[in-house]
């Protein structure tokens, strides 16, 4: 066996470079973080051949002192932390002290800097051979320039793993985008092969921020995004979330920052995914640029070499805050009146609301009840894989029909079916007034902006679904004792979680008791799930609590059942509606959360402005 020896500084740095420097984009990320930590307000990035031949980054930060220049190329040398207390509340982007040492070990590096309180600029050079570096004077304004050439020139095996120039530059450009989105107060310029790609000025207002996002991502994103700014329990979430109807086939437009650091965290991703669950089309991905701010001591950023992952001290608090905030914001995305005065006028004019207008109140509750009978449910909506019968669902929803008694007779006639949007004495609702029905599928409506087209089944499906969820939540989740309690085998960690979250599981209708280190007994189950695979369901619930401190699985399953009920209980295509019924649906849409999408994420309505209509017919030319 060979003797144990201490690695040479060069080899140690090259090994560390394998963790930190995989491609040119990693070099740019590390150097940009250093520039931002140095207080720079202007950063210029020049690259050639995708960054393989040259990466030059110049900033106007406070610079590096002469004595610190050679030390900056040493491993674990940093000015950002001094002790463990500093590490537990890191506020800088970089802190490991490995970046420059790793980069200089696999490239030809020149570091020039002018410290703000010094009269002279200094330069240090390293070419991947030994770690000793000579310092000499140079001409340089206040700030720092790092010039890296010929990446992996001394490690040809690793250079073979680099992709084409275009691919490497795309990765590098993405790093610039992320940094520019994280620091609106800093100006950035990117040049590739002497061509300017991005030139971004510092942002001094929300308008400037939105302009930067539009230039980096797309103008359409800003048109389809909702601004958010919420604060609670020491957490602040702000930024922009895309409407559910604006989505992507890939998760390539999702940017989440924690205290200015971009992260890809499973807990964060789960919370956001759950917030979009009811409104995003299947298989699509939401878009967002979000910023979470909290006490640095409550988040551990030292869990991954590239610092892309973090660990929250109270993951459940963060998860619930993100989910509830985004869920609330997305729920408020619906046609709305412009101000409270207009809302008062509308309420005064509308003697009967949509829920009272014939078809969209009692009649459909009756239809919903009919669709919940065993024969209709088993034929149309029975999720056989879950073994849920219609009777079980009906037991939970038995009082729903009683909550919305039919408002029949002549009450629908009181709706002003011939209301004219251009009447100066009337306030036009956001979705206007119905004028016709097209092929038994779409409602055509006229509002102040032009024409509104509504998919009547999709819209009514959302309305019915939201009412079902409300009714179910008000009733709670009923449970029943098992005739023969069932013993299941779990891991010790899962058994611990069952004890820790016993009260929360009880609210979901489960009564679990621990029999041993790795065994539980199920004594009560929700009535709705009495025929489900109890062991598999409990294990899934415990896994949910382990990951996020709560269970969204029950909510997902409940929503799946209620969504199917809503779909089959809503007005069908080719159903001829009267004007009062159509107007009743429009009014319901205006007061229903998430009415912009059906339960499956499809849009329920669209607006065509007068300008768009005029263009179709070349009017005004």
pLDDT in tens, 131-174: 567 789 999 999 999 999 999 998 888 888 999 999 999 999 99
Given pLDDT bands bounded at 50, 70 and 90, which one contains residue 130?
Answer: low
Handedness of CA 160, 165, 169, 170 (dihedral sign): negative
Full-model pTM: 0.73
Partnered with residue 57 across adjacent β-strands are 45, 146
CA neighbor of 452 nearest in space, from 280, 612, 278: 612
Give 266-273's long-range contacts (Cβ < 8 A, gap of 24+). Answer: 266/547, 267/312, 267/315, 267/318, 267/319, 267/547, 267/548, 268/292, 268/318, 268/322, 270/319, 270/547, 270/548, 270/552, 271/318, 271/319, 271/320, 271/322, 271/323, 271/326, 271/548, 272/322, 272/323, 272/326
Say how far apart CA 82 and CA 64 lie, in whole Å: 17
Taking each helix axis from N to C terminus, what angle separates 456-475 and 553-569, rounded to the nearest 10 degrees? 130
**Residue 557 pLDDT > 80, yes or no?**
no
Given pLDDT bands bounded at 50, 70 and 90, which one contains residue 192?
Answer: very high
459-483 tens-digit pLDDT: 999 998 888 788 777 776 678 899 8
Alpha-carbon Rg of the chain, whole angstroms? 31
Say how far apart CA 123 and CA 137 lie, in whole Å: 6
Say how far apart CA 226 and CA 239 lie, in whole Å: 8
Q: What is the DSSP letter of 285?
A: B
**Whether 24 contacts 158, CB under 8 Å:** no
In three-state secondary structure terms, 438 is strand
Say how far apart CA 487 and CA 138 lie, in whole Å: 76
**Whether 156 contacts 141, CB under 8 Å:** no
pLDDT at 18: 63
Domains of the chain as residue ranges with CATH: 9-200 (3.30.565.10), 217-331 (3.30.230.10), 345-621 (3.30.1540.20)
pLDDT at 188: 98
Given pLDDT bands bounded at 50, 70 and 90, which one contains residue 560?
Answer: confident
Average pLDDT over the chain, rounded to an integer: 81
The better pLDDT of the pair 528, 233 is held by 233
Q: Return the minimum-mean-pLDDT range out of 30-39, 281-290, 348-357, 361-370.
A: 361-370
DSSP 380-401: HT--GGGT--HHHHHHHTTTHH
Say how far apart CA 402 and CA 475 lie, in whole Å: 13
130 burial class (0-12, 13-18, 19+ CB within 10 angstroms)?
exposed
Kindly state the helix (H) or strand (E) to which residue 497 belongs, with its residue range: helix 492-500
pLDDT at 5: 83
**Whether 253 contacts 287, CB under 8 Å:** yes
Q: Return the minimum-mean-pLDDT range out of 371-375, 488-492, 550-554.
A: 371-375
């Amino acid at each position: 066996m060979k003797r144990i020896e201490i690695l040479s500084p060069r080899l140690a740095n090259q090994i560390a470079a394998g963790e930190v420097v995989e491609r040119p984009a990693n070099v740019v990320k590390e150097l940009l973080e250093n520039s931002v930590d140095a207080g720079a307000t202007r950063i210029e990035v020049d690259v050639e051949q995708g960054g393989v031949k040259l990466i030059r980054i110049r900033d106007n930060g406070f610079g590096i002192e002469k004595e610190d220049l050679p030390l900056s190329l040493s491993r674990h040398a940093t000015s950002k932390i001094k002790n463990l207390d500093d590490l537990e509340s890191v506020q800088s982007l970089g802190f490991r002290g490995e970046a420059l040492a790793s980069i200089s070990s696999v490239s030809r590096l020149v570091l020039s800097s002018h410290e703000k309180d010094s009269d002279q600029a200094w330069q240090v050079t390293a070419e991947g051979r030994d770690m000793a570096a000579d310092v000499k004077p140079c001409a340089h304004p206040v700030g720092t320039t790092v010039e890296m050439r010929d990446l992996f020139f001394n490690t040809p095996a690793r250079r073979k793993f680099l992709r084409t120039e275009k691919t490497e530059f795309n990765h590098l450009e993405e790093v610039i985008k992320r940094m520019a989105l994280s620091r609106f107060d800093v100006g950035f310029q990117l040049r590739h092969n002497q061509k300017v790609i991005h030139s971004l000025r510092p942002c001094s207002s929300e308008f400037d921020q939105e302009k930067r996002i539009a230039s980096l991502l797309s103008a359409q994103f800003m048109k389809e995004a909702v601004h958010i700014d919420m604060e609670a329990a020491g957490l602040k979430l702000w930024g922009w979330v895309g409407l559910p109807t604006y989505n992507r086939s890939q998760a390539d437009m999702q940017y989440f920052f924690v205290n200015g650091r971009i992260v890809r965290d499973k807990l964060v991703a789960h919370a956001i995914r759950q917030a979009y669950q009811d409104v995003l089309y299947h298989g699509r991905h939401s878009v967002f640029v979000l910023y979470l701010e909290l006490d640095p001591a409550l988040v551990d950023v030292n869990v991954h070499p590239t610092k892309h992952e973090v660990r929250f001290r109270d993951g459940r608090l963060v998860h619930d805050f993100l989910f509830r905030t985004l869920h609330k914001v997305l729920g408020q995305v619906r046609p709305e009146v412009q101000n409270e005065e207009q809302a008062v006028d509308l309420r005064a004019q509308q003697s009967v609301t949509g829920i009272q207008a014939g078809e969209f109140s009692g009649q459909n509750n009756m239809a919903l009840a009919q669709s919940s009978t065993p024969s209709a449910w088993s034929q149309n909506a029975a999720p056989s894989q879950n073994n849920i019968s219609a009777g079980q669902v009906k037991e939970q929803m038995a009082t729903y029909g009683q909550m919305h008694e039919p408002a029949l007779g002549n009450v629908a006639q009181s709706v002003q079916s011939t209301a004219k949007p251009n009447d100066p004495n009337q306030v036009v609702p956001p979705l206007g007034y119905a004028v016709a029905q097209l092929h038994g599928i779409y409602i055509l409506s006229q509002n102040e902006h032009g024409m509104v087209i509504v998919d009547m089944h999709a819209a009514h499906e959302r309305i019915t679904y939201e009412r079902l969820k409300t009714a179910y939540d008000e009733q709670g989740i009923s449970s029943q004792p098992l005739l023969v309690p069932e013993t299941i085998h779990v891991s010790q960690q899962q058994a611990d979680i069952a004890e820790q979250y016993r009260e929360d599981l009880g609210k979901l209708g489960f009564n679990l008791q621990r029999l041993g280190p790795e065994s539980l007994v199920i004594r009560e189950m929700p009535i709705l799930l009495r025929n489900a695979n109890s062991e598999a369901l409990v294990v899934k619930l415990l896994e949910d609590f382990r990951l996020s401190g709560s269970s969204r699985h029950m909510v997902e399953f409940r929503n799946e059942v209620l969504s199917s009920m809503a779909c089959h209980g809503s007005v069908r295509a080719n159903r001829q509606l009267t004007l009062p019924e159509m107007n009743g649906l429009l009014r319901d849409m205006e007061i229903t959360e998430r009415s912009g999408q059906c339960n499956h994420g499809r849009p329920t309505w669209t607006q065509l402005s007068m300008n768009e209509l005029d263009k179709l017919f070349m009017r005004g030319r």
